[in-house]
């Protein structure tokens, strides 16, 4: 398991610890105050300053020999902050982990605090100006977002039932959207996002700049050689370039170092040849999140 499971999982995965969804924890962290300021100023997250230095052209600045190392250290410190004085406008203490559909359904069906809402994906809105309703929030965050009209679908109620939430997350997953669960702020959990790479802000910061805004899942994909028909559909479905066809073998293979364990590729396989296995059982992926 990842370090956050050890620290906030109470003996299990951090996102399977019921306390991390509780209203009691939200009160302890003053989460409503934090989330109100964060989401009122959400657009500023993409132009945040790190040690007084603008995040514009971040990739270039991170490659600088000395300044880059200092910026990376400070950015990671902000992302993973558990300080009582963390800055909500910078989204300090806000990061997540990719999860497969099965675990997303367990969270929405049993763990997520009510009310549950489905609102616009801010990554799509800020990068392409498209309002798509595919992010599921719950608990205190829902009550905050409901007061901010730009996040709520027009002419439609944002609140949904647990059953509706599970149906929506499966629909998004089948469309190829990767599910991820989020601390906000750590260790309080109040969101499951359905997005895609590189549109997702968290995935983009991780893939392009190596910042741990989001972690790989607790699983990797494995191909059942007996079932694989080498149709190649899973290759096209994978957003991380982790699957390729090997003509000499007559089947697909997965690079466990690239696999995020999202499970989305399974929807493209008509032959039941793809199965998720625990990351720790695969030597090449063990401990790599």
Q: If DSSP codes are grouped into helix, strand and coil, which group holds residue 113?
A: coil
Alpha-helix residue ranges (DSSP H) falling in 155-200: 162-174
Interior angle at CA 21, CA 17 and CA 25, nearest 5: 105
Scan for tokens 């972690």, then name that residue. 215
Q: Which domain holds residue 174?
A: 3-42+81-215
**Is the confidence at residue 47, as pLDDT, over 60?**
no
Q: Are residues 161 and 112 in the same domain?
A: yes
Pairing of strands 214-215, 96-98: parallel
Q: Are residues 8 and 138 in the same domain?
A: yes
Alpha-helix residue ranges (DSSP H) falling in the chain: 3-8, 23-29, 31-40, 58-62, 67-79, 101-106, 122-128, 140-145, 162-174, 201-209, 233-237
From 157, 181, 215, give the residue that closes a domain.
Answer: 215
* pLDDT at residue 99, as a whole number: 98
Does the predicted TM-score (pTM) go above 0.85? yes
Q: Are residues 125 and 244 in the same domain?
A: no
Q: Are residues 226 and 211 in the same domain?
A: no
From 215, 234, 253, give the residue that closes a domain.
Answer: 215
Least confident of 61-65, 217-221, 258-262: 61-65
The segment with the largest mean pLDDT, out of 32-46, 91-105, 120-134, is 91-105
Number of domains in the chain: 2
* pLDDT at residue 61, as a whole number: 78
On whether residue 287 sits in a domain, the answer given is no
Q: What is the mean pLDDT of residues 240-268?
A: 95
Q: Are residues 246 and 200 in the same domain?
A: no
Q: Contact 194/169 with Cβ under 8 angstroms? A: yes
* pLDDT at residue 148, as a whole number: 85
């Amino acid at each position: 398991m990842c370090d956050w499971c050890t620290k906030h999982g109470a003996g299990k995965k951090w996102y399977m610890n019921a306390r991390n969804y509780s209203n009691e924890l939200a009160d302890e962290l003053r989460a409503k105050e934090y989330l109100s300021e964060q989401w009122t100023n959400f657009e500023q997250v993409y132009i945040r300053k790190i040690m007084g230095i603008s995040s514009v052209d971040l990739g270039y600045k991170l490659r600088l020999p000395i300044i880059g190392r200092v910026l990376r250290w400070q950015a990671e410190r902000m992302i993973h902050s558990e300080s009582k004085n963390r800055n909500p406008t910078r989204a300090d203490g806000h990061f997540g982990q990719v999860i497969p559909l099965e675990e997303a359904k367990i969270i929405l069906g049993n763990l997520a605090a009510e009310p549950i809402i489905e609102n616009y994906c801010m990554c799509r809105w800020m990068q392409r100006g498209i309002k798509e309703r595919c992010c599921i929030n719950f608990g205190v965050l829902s009550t905050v977002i409901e007061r901010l009209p730009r996040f709520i679908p027009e002419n439609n109620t944002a609140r949904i039932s647990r059953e509706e939430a599970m149906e929506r997350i499966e629909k998004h997953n089948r469309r190829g959207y990767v599910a991820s669960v989020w601390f906000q702020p750590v260790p309080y959990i109040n969101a499951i996002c359905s997005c895609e790479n590189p549109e997702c802000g968290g995935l983009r910061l991780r893939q392009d700049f190596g910042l741990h805004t989001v972690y790989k899942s607790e699983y990797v994909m494995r191909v059942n050689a007996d079932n694989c028909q080498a149709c190649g559909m899973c290759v096209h479905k994978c957003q991380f370039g982790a699957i390729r066809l090997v003509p000499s073998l007559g089947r697909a293979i997965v690079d466990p170092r690239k696999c995020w364990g999202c499970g989305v590729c399974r929807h493209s396989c008509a032959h039941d040849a793809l199965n998720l296995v625990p990351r720790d059982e695969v030597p090449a992926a063990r401990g790599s999140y």
